[in-house]
Amino acid sequence: MNHIIRIYNQNRKEFWTFIIIIIFIIVMIQMINYIIKVNSKKQSENTSKIEEESYKSQSESIISGGSVSKSNKNQFGTLIEKFLNDCINQEVDKAYDALSTQCKKELYPTLEQFKNTYWMRNFSTKKTYTFQSWNSLKINTYIIKLYEDNLSTGNIGESEYIEDYYTIVKENGTNKINIGNLIQIQDIEKSQSEQGINITIEKVKMYKEYYIYQIKIKNETPNDIFLDTGENTGTVYATNSVGTNFEALLYENLNEDFIVKSNEEKTINIKFGIVFREDLNIESINFTDIITNYQQYLQGHTNNTEKMNIKVEL
């Protein structure tokens, strides 16, 4: 014991110096850890604030009111910007990869078609852009405006723009884009049969300014039939949940589209003058001028020609 005390007395200064150094090191480590923790928290808060501010104005919805959800606005904004910048930078293959499968199938089945139509029409010259949420209820659609890059073209003062609507869709867990005003395509598969004539509404292709219904007609009668004579307007129409009718734009079809021979089955597309609204709720497609004997109709026996109405509930 005396030996230990003697050693301590002989090295007291060094001993306490060592102890003080150890305490100092421990205190410094704790201070450094505290500073790192505070800075990390501040950085995280700043990052969250920046993310919260990103695409804030672009996420305020014009038509539906409200705004794109916080969890989606950055993802959607980044996706749209990347698509537009890929187009501007002539990385057409990357832009094409951002399109949904249904958009490719419906509008641009190949990369070459996309390049020669959409890209050439909109991005063959240098562009700038703006985008804004148009609808953000269950469906997220943005209005896109493409402007000539005046600095590169020299057309100072011109403000004309190309307008399009992009809709974000989820595909196998990944966000993709519908372009060309295509909102979405929905399967329906609703049918109605009357006296051997069956009409099936297979699907609807919703565009911003109109709907296209894909319709299958099966004629199991002994006579050829004529779905609509075109002699009157408003004879084929869609009806929504509040009773508003939307006429079919039959002038875009050929007469041959509406002739279904005996025991024939055919599929046609009919466009309707329906401007997209998410709460529109179309409930039925109505055919009110079906000629059940086309041969008799051709012979001019219009007074004796039987007509039929078929309403397909959706």
Cα–Cα distance measured from residue 284 to residue 190, given in angstroms and rounded to the nearest whole number: 10
β 127-136/140-148 pair status: antiparallel
Distance CA 83, CA 99 (A): 9
Is 129 within 8 Å of 149 (Cβ atoms)?
A: no
pLDDT confidence band for 7 (50 / 70 / 90): low
Provide the terminal-to-terminal Cα distance of the chain, rounded to the nearest Å.
Answer: 100
Amino acid letter, residue 68: V
Structure confidence at residue 303 (pLDDT) = 63
The larger pLDDT score, comparing residue 95 to residue 26, is at 95
Spell out the residues 6+ positions from residue 64 whose beta carbon is closer than 8 angstroms to its own. Answer: 134, 135, 136, 137, 278
- pLDDT tens-digit series, residues 277-287: 998 999 999 99
Residue 15 has pLDDT above 90, yes or no: no
pLDDT value at position 51?
Answer: 47
Q: Which of 204, 183, 122, 142 is nearest to 114 (CA)?
A: 122
Distance CA 41, CA 24 (A): 26
Per-residue pLDDT at 62: 82
The predicted-structure confidence for 255-272, as pLDDT tens digits, reads as follows: 999 999 999 999 999 999
> Is residue 5 pLDDT above 70, yes or no?
no
Is the pLDDT higher at 109 or at 54? 109
pLDDT on residue 264: 98
In this predicted structure, the answer to whether residue 304 has a pLDDT above a threshold of 90 is no
Best CA proximity match to 277, nearest among 70, 126, 139, 90: 139
pLDDT over threshold 70, residue 2: no
Residue 27: pLDDT band with limits 50, 70, 90: confident
How many H helices and E strands in the chain? Answer: 9, 14
108 — phi, psi (to 5°)?
-135, 80
pLDDT at 148 over 60: yes
Query: What average pLDDT does range 166-189 have in this prediction?
Result: 97
pLDDT of 50 over the 50 cut: no
Which H or E run contains 266?
strand 265-272
What is this structure's pTM?
Answer: 0.80
180: left (phi > 0), else alpha (psi -120 to 50), else beta? left
SS3 of 31-92: the string is HHHHHHHHHHHHHHHHHHHHHHHCCCHHHECCCCCCECCHHHHHHHHHHHHHHHHHHHCCCH
Question: How far apart are alpha carbons 163 and 132 in whole angstroms?
Answer: 11
User: Which domains, from first to last, does the chain contain?
Assistant: 57-180 (3.10.450.100), 184-313 (2.60.40.1240)
What are the residues whose beta carbons fall under 8 Å from the beta carbon of 238, sequence distance 6 or more?
A: 211, 213, 245, 246, 248, 272, 274, 282, 284, 285, 286
Q: Is the pLDDT of residue 48 over 80?
A: no
